Structure 1
Amino acid sequence: MKLVIIESPGKIEELKKILGGEYKLAASYGHIRDLPLNEMGVHPPDFIPQYVITESGERTVAGLKKLCAQADEIYLATDQDKEGEAISWHLQQALELTNYIRVSWKTVTAPDVQQAMLNPGRIDKHKVAAQEARRTLDRLVGYMVSPLLSDLLGKTLSAGRVQSVAVRLVVERERQIKSFCRTNHFGAKLSFENVDTSAAWQADWHADWVTKPYLKSADEPYILDEAFANGVAAINTVTVKSYTETVTKRSPPAPFITPTLQQAASVALKMSPTETMTAAQALFDKGHITYHRTDNPNVALSHLGDIFQAALNLGLEMADDPRVFKIPDGAEAGHPACTPTHWEVEEAGKTDDERALYQLIRERAIASQLADAAYAVRTATMEAIEPVSGKVVTFSTTGRTLVNQGWLALLNRDETVDEEDEEDDGSNKNTVPTLTVGQVLTVSSGSVLAKATRAPNRYKQASLIDKLFKSGIGRPATLAAIMEGIFERKYVVEEKRQVIPTAIAEQINDALVGRFSFMEYGFTREIERDIDLIQKGELRYRDVVTKVHETLKQEIRTTKDNSSPKYPCPVCKEALRRREKDDHFFWGCSAFPICKTTLPDANGEPGQRKGIVLSEYVCNKCQSPLTHIKQTPAPGKSAFDFWACTGAANGCKAKYKNQDGKPVL
């Protein structure tokens, strides 16, 4: 029996058709091992990860061991990326395989699968080390910094190597918006009747005042003089100083890579990154699309003939030469762009999301190799004398008309850009006629344009993903998880499709920025570069992890020396943290079980124990606050008046006499 172990059970049905009955297929359901849940699981000086089989992985491993015992050949056929390579290594370790065959394919299609089976290999240890480095660094930041962050803010919170930086982007954008000061300024527009008899150029047209020559300084980049603008708008005639007719071309956008796929699905389909990746995974598993975790925007050369045939069937014009798109800096480029595998298939997928996403992927990929869109462009400049100041003022105008649809016959726009965020210069609606230099034109009307500067837009999920990717914060495979994490922890919320930070996000940001280098935008980019060098065998796992660990240790030490907990424990002065138990909150000491102090919750802050008021006096044995306990004589009750130590939970039962309202220490 030949056993093929893959990651996702969704691929089994398609692979059975390709491989035939002599192969037995089984799935690992992703990772079967991970670092432990309740401890860091990786320690200096070697930083060897202490892996444990996950709860869900235990059943999987048991089943796979039985199959392996029956198998004559065992193929580890997980994906080609770092995560896939690491999954194969974990399987080899957990199943104690010495005689295994490593295979992988770019697409779940017969040519790729059969080619992979003919070219077996071994597990790439450098690629595994690179994945381990990323996982370990995430664990170090999470386990080393989160407790300190929780102490500083008095709540159980998490810091993340990439997650916290994503939150910083949102917080800083929100603060830019709140601190923005609006500036009112002015422009002017002249309108003209169109005397051109050409049927294509009949509508009235306009020209805008070029204000730049009249600005006072770079510090004041706007016209603030409304009277001057009124004078410009009152001009009656202008003289044409230049006129050109050109044809400009607009190239199509590249096929999808992971971040642009998530952006387009967010804008065009209103799908979250997680929903997008779930649908894409299902399409990949069924062999409908190429690998969806990619940062290479280029189509595989072997697919160009298929695209040509698909375009021919649709009656669309191909580009003269195959298009090659620029690969982003730092990209791995191990996989081609996300495209269909069977180009003649117009609809694929079981759910509405899958079908809509497939159509988006297919049309974008075909459009990438179509002819440019072409525009006829008329541009002119005009001059006149402003009547009040006597200054020469300049106007400019541009009209643009689509003369060849090219790729726009299939896509009417780039779906990754939200229409609400697009800037429209109005040139498509401005029907500039044929003009001649020296021609004097009569103005039909003039108007002052009252303008105002605008605050930057809040991020939407699509634009935040774009910013994360372009800033080198996270890799294509991790972007959806980053977004899901900051929403799940309620560090950000979405209102009217805008991403807004919560109050706790701002507190986290202020607690970490300036104290920890992992919060700097360049840090994450450098780490990803180091991880890529580990994969190439040019850097060692231990060296990269050790460097970050030492930096974190120093930064934590410095932060502790220069800050104090927001809510110190009244007994031991360590940090109190707000905790939840049985649907209610309470405050417990972070030094538990050494210090067992607890306090009730009072509207999100530590309250007083019922009947106990902490005083300014402290126990001379354990330094815990004292409380004054007094009972006046009453029928059947004894009178008492003394001071007691509040450190009883920690074993101190000291009591002190009261004298004139003070303890006798």
Structure 2
Amino acid sequence: MTTLVIVESPAKAKKIGAMLGDNYVVKASVGHVRDLPQKELGMMPPSYQLQYEATERGAKVLSQLAAAVRSADAVMLATDPDREGEAIAWHLADALDLKNPKRVVYNSVTKEKILAALAAPREIDMQRVHAQEARRALDRMIGYRVSGPLSDSAGEGLGAGRVQSPAVRLIVDLERAIAAFKSTSHFGAELIFKNDDATSWKAQWDTKPHLAEGEKYLLDSELAKRVSNVRNVTVSEYENTEKPRAPDAPFTTSSLQQAAGKRLKMKPKQTMDAAQKLFEQGAITYHRTDSPNMDPEGAADIAAYAQGAGLKLADKARTWKAKEGAQEGHEAIRPSHVADLEMGETDEERALYKLIWQRAVASQLADANYAVRTVKLTADAEGTPVTFKATGRTLLSPGWLAVYADDAADEDDEKDETSNNPIPALTLADPLTADSANLQSKKTKPPTRYKLDTLVKEMERLGIGRPSTYAAILDNIMSRDYILEDKKGYLTPSARGIKICDNLVGKFAFIETDYTRGLEDELDQIAEGKNDYLSVVSGAWTALDVELTGLAAAELAAGHPCPTCAKVLRRRKGDNGYFWACSDRECAQQTLPDDDGKPGERKAPPPPTGIDCPKCGKDLARRQGMTKPKKIGWKPQKYDFYSCTGYPKCEAKFNTGADGLPVFEEAKKA
């Protein structure tokens, strides 16, 4: 008896095939085999049933799989264990006309997990399939129906996206907040004390008691100067304590992308691609998960390793609360076998595996423990009572820090100086004399621009999309040049990105984060059987109908009307740079040059020469000038030729002869 097992990737097919015996044949679908039509919407009311067609690659794969199905006694659909994988399994079953397909799921590509999955097949979960279909329908509906009006309004071809556009808006809104920011000058003071061992420690002036109502910062520079002259202080409070610090949870999809961006400088797509490879190699558990908690089996594996390696475990198993709206279908990301200290086939994969290993192991270890010393000092600043505070922290036992050190500090992070502030043993009411003081003159800073990892964090906080989709969302808006990344990794909106937001905000609900988060919740409800495909999709279609009707009723003027027919001119990119052309292909309007993002004036055409075109009989015009360079380093070239004034209906062109007349003979020979 032969069982056909269908997975998604060829690499995974090869690995799983090597684990199973001769009675199994393992083939790959290479991801999705069907999709909505490229040039049609692919759904219509009232049913909103999606119309699928095989992709060019998918058609070839389906043909090969059909032959394998005919030779098999049973078929197991072993695609990835998320909604996307569930949908791929259904597409395969439907396209291959499988009568009794079985669905198997596994959280890591190891022999024990694969054999356990094959021994416990189930039916395809159609609720999860419908949730994925609803996501695809909503994305297509908004992209297909809104992009046209958006392009008309903006004057160039732009794409609207259900989750992409709100992500772009985050960048645009932040950039405008930065532009509108006005810096505030404020003041402070610190005292510096020297220890007997030549080290020194600092105490900061507590400005809060001196702030006027509603103020966040001290604006009184004269008071700050008086305080900076203080040298004699008294110890009014002094305390020594110990403070534990617990590790973070093992990685979820979102936290993995954030940490890999900060520590390894990997973009979200790079991270997800490398994680996919590690999963297929059997190195890690499934990497698309919102759960911060491990299965008991994973925690036990780490506990056994830690005991053998002399690492102190936490007193009891740790658990973490998942973030609101999290889909906890799979455990947190961890090594499949923690005894494997190095895994991965490339440097990037090995670095990511090490990061996952460290975070997972650290999550089960004992707290790091610190000795914390705090002191409060009081003084008189020329008649004004003032207080200074200082905190010092020393690591007593590293605990989990032995395997997973602190996150690399971003250049915009506030520095924690408590770990480098050696306060000596003091006694209450002790008088102290500062060796020096600093008058601090500060300015408030504008908001910090997002980097890809901090944008991921903000998208998760606001519920824009799902962590498993972040990499694709960001790759999409960056590849379309809606947002730009500088050399330091900071993100800014392009002119195109700003146009998208300005032409959507106030007109369409999907650009609002509350709407986007609400739709994500409805998709979750479909997967859980608490809602249905038709209700969600039809509701979104109806709401979009109202918005599009309102837009049409407002008779929104074209951003740049065509001078011939008044329809929309659109900015396009050609071999020689940008130009403008009428959106109506039937319009006789010829192109206009681009003038700093706006339609420029077309040069007056050369006058008719009185020489008849041999093809249509209309006048020819002689065109002379210099070409524009197509690339940097290209030199302009002279041109001299005749063309028909009947263009575009007649496209006849003729070289200019030595006598200055058109050369017709060459045209005949050609």
State if a TM-score over 0.5 links the two structures: yes
Counterpart residue identity of residue 524, structure 1: T
- Tell me the CA shift for residue 378 of structure 1: 0.9
1:58–1:630 Cα change, 3 Å: closer
> Would the aligned equivalents of 2:593 and 2:602 in 1 still touch at CA under 8 Å?
no
Aligned equivalent of 1:247: 242
1:70-111 per-residue CA deviation (whole Å, 9 max, x = no partner) reads: 111111111121100100111111111112222121111122
Structure 1 residue 293 corresponds to structure 2 residue 293: no
> Would the aligned equivalents of 2:36 and 2:53 in 1 still touch at CA under 8 Å?
yes
> Would the aligned equivalents of 2:580 and 2:594 in 1 still touch at CA under 8 Å?
no
Aligned equivalent of 1:59: 60
Aligned equivalent of 2:264: 269
Aligned equivalent of 1:546: 538
Percent identity between matched residues is: 45
Structure 1 residue 109 corresponds to structure 2 residue 110: yes
> Would the aligned equivalents of 2:205 and 2:386 in 1 still touch at CA under 8 Å?
yes
- Tell me the CA shift for residue 591 of structure 1: 3.8
> Would the aligned equivalents of 1:530 and 1:544 in 2 still touch at CA under 8 Å?
yes
Aligned equivalent of 2:482: 491
CA distance in 2, matches of 1:422, 1:309: 37
Gaps of 5+ in 2: 611-617, 620-644, 650-670
- Tell me the CA shift for residue 279 of structure 1: 1.0
- Tell me the CA shift for residue 239 of structure 1: 1.6
Counterpart residue identity of residue 182, structure 1: S
**Which one of 221, 225, 229 corresponds to residue 226 of structure 1?**
221
> Would the aligned equivalents of 1:237 and 1:443 in 2 still touch at CA under 8 Å?
yes
CA distance in 2, matches of 1:114, 1:215: 68
Aligned residue for 1:41, secondary structure, equals coil
Gaps of 5+ in 1: 614-628, 639-645, 651-665
Aligned equivalent of 1:26: 27
- Tell me the CA shift for residue 477 of structure 1: 1.4
1:517-555 per-residue CA deviation (whole Å, 9 max, x = no partner) reads: 111111111111000101111111111111111111221
1:563-595 per-residue CA deviation (whole Å, 9 max, x = no partner) reads: 3111112343221223346666554433445x4
CA distance in 1, matches of 2:443, 2:225: 17
1:241–1:112 Cα change, 3 Å: same
Aligned residue for 2:591, secondary structure, equals strand
> Would the aligned equivalents of 2:150 and 2:159 in 1 still touch at CA under 8 Å?
yes
Counterpart residue identity of residue 206, structure 2: V
Aligned equivalent of 1:524: 516
Aligned residue for 1:463, secondary structure, equals helix
Aligned equivalent of 1:37: 38
CA distance in 1, matches of 2:314, 2:594: 68
1:160–1:647 Cα change, 3 Å: farther
Structure 1 residue 326 corresponds to structure 2 residue 321: yes
Aligned equivalent of 1:602: 594
Aligned residue for 1:121, secondary structure, equals coil
Aligned residue for 2:592, secondary structure, equals strand
**Which one of 380, 397, 417 corresponds to residue 385 of structure 1?**
380
- Tell me the CA shift for residue 505 of structure 1: 1.0
1:504–1:67 Cα change, 3 Å: same
Structure 1 residue 400 corresponds to structure 2 residue 393: yes
How many residue pairs get matched? 613
Structure 1 residue 449 corresponds to structure 2 residue 440: yes
CA distance in 2, matches of 1:607, 1:471: 41
1:313–1:442 Cα change, 3 Å: same
Structure 1 residue 85 corresponds to structure 2 residue 86: yes
**Which one of 193, 196, 203 corresponds to residue 199 of structure 2?**
203
Structure 1 residue 177 corresponds to structure 2 residue 170: no
Structure 1 residue 559 corresponds to structure 2 residue 559: no
> Would the aligned equivalents of 1:146 and 1:157 in 2 still touch at CA under 8 Å?
yes
Aligned residue for 1:192, secondary structure, equals strand
Aligned equivalent of 1:215: 211
Aligned equivalent of 1:663: none
Counterpart residue identity of residue 569, structure 1: C
1:97–1:131 Cα change, 3 Å: same
CA distance in 2, matches of 1:301, 1:173: 42
CA distance in 2, matches of 1:414, 1:70: 53
- Tell me the CA shift for residue 610 of structure 1: 5.9
Aligned residue for 1:24, secondary structure, equals strand
**Which one of 471, 478, 481 corresponds to residue 469 of structure 2?**
478
> Would the aligned equivalents of 2:294 and 2:332 in 1 still touch at CA under 8 Å?
yes
Aligned equivalent of 1:589: 582
Aligned equivalent of 1:510: 502
TM-score between the two structures when normalised by the length of structure 2: 0.88
Counterpart residue identity of residue 487, structure 1: M
Structure 1 residue 574 corresponds to structure 2 residue 575: no
> Would the aligned equivalents of 2:392 and 2:420 in 1 still touch at CA under 8 Å?
yes
CA distance in 2, matches of 1:244, 1:584: 69
CA distance in 2, matches of 1:399, 1:608: 69
Aligned residue for 1:419, secondary structure, equals coil
Aligned residue for 2:411, secondary structure, equals helix
CA distance in 2, matches of 1:596, 1:278: 48
> Would the aligned equivalents of 1:3 and 1:73 in 2 still touch at CA under 8 Å?
yes
Structure 1 residue 312 corresponds to structure 2 residue 307: yes
TM-score between the two structures when normalised by the length of structure 1: 0.88
Aligned equivalent of 2:655: none
> Would the aligned equivalents of 2:158 and 2:496 in 1 still touch at CA under 8 Å?
no
CA distance in 2, matches of 1:406, 1:382: 33
